[in-house]
A and B are shown apart, each in its own frame.
Chain A
């Protein structure tokens, strides 16, 4: 327990089993990004999966839409302490995209249009836990929330769910991404409150 601040009561609005420690519930969908919102025309959009040996797998927008689609409903947790429960998405599972990709890599570095990057273990992209999502709440994902498509990895803090996703490079060695280089946690598990390096 921390040092008591005299007279502080609190609202207890954070309480509830669905919320990780230190998070509060929001009904809004706040936006957090480090720079301008890239505008990516669907005709130019592509998603590239690259392996540690240099092999590349590419999907255009129509090709992505032609893959089996899933509709996850998930809770999301931002490191800035808001959580939003029961969000509805549509997208393609990373299991589908990684199917048939021969790799010995253990890490992934995610790239976005606009230059953003984030890293995570490859295992966290497997097992029905990660998607390339293009639809939110039944409508195409707005650009400020990462459209045309963003990564969705809801079991980690939301900065790992890279907006405007452009590709994923599979790596033998871990390589920190944008926020991870700036002092945020390498893994970012909200249930262990891994906000910053050393947590």
Chain B
């Protein structure tokens, strides 16, 4: 048996806290980053998520989990929400939720799919679609902590306009020493991009990842099929299962 976790023991009960919207920015036509002010927020590790709960006038409630998009920053947290067609919570957060309005949040949750800035091992991040969110939190945390751990991000998106954090990733790939960013486009590639749109495969992971001898920590996040494919490729390339951490994103309408 291998996978004991060095997770974050949660010693106190997780309580619901009131969070208010202080800002938002569009990432893509269907995704937005919401910045929330959460008085008393206990802090978190990159890769962790929160539960967000909405209450209607009549007391009806709905809750969903969202990954934290940035490292700990006092009482501020950032979530990137992808609009799920016919969803119950995400359309509200994107179309209706206004600055100053309250929601309730609870967290941080999850002590396994996390990166700690004291880690020096190379890191491979493989993102499928909105699965980039917790991985972006790691990239941001790396810079914030002044870590020199070598990072590689392989990011699969449908088209260039589906890429979250596009400008920031371009800037960081240039300025954050030791961070490489590679894209895989499944439907439509930008002009001048070499190769055809394709689903992520062995060549992508082999060429743009780390050799297994370096014993990198691998984080894979995306839809189930994507995560299954990439995790199997990594195992096939010789990476140890215990060095591969996965998180699957289902629709969280």
Residue numbers of A with Cβ under 8 A of B are 1-14, 22, 24, 28, 30-38, 80-82, 111, 114-117, 144, 178-179, 181-183, 196-199
Contact = CB atoms under 8 A, between A and B. Distances in A.
Contacts of B245: 34-35
Nearest to B233: A36
SS of A interface (majority): loop
Interface stretch (B106-114, B116-124, B140-148, B157-165): B106-114
Contact of B14 (A28, A30, A198): A198
A24 B18 CA distance: 23
A28 B250 contact: yes
Contact of A22 (B8, B10, B63, B104): B63
A196 B112 contact: no
B7 A181 contact: yes
B205 interface: no
B250 A30 contact: yes
A116 to B, nearest CB: 6
- Report, as a range, how many residues of chain B touch the other chain: 35 or more
B55 A183 contact: no
A2 B88 contact: no
A124 B241 CA distance: 30
B1 interface: yes
B127 interface: no
Contacts of B9: 181, 183, 197
Listed from nearest, the 6 A-B pairs whose CB atoms lie closest are A198-B13, A115-B2, A182-B7, A182-B111, A115-B3, A183-B10
Contacts of B110: 182-183
A38 B13 CA distance: 33
Contact of A8 (B5, B92, B109, B235): B92
A6 B10 CA distance: 31
A30 B54 contact: no
23 contacts: A1-B55, A2-B16, A4-B55, A4-B57, A8-B55, A8-B62, A22-B63, A32-B248, A34-B113, A35-B245, A36-B231, A38-B241, A81-B65, A82-B250, A115-B1, A117-B1, A179-B112, A183-B9, A183-B109, A196-B109, A197-B11, A198-B10, A199-B14
B112 A182 contact: yes
B187 interface: no
A11 B55 contact: no
B24 interface: no
B246 A33 contact: yes
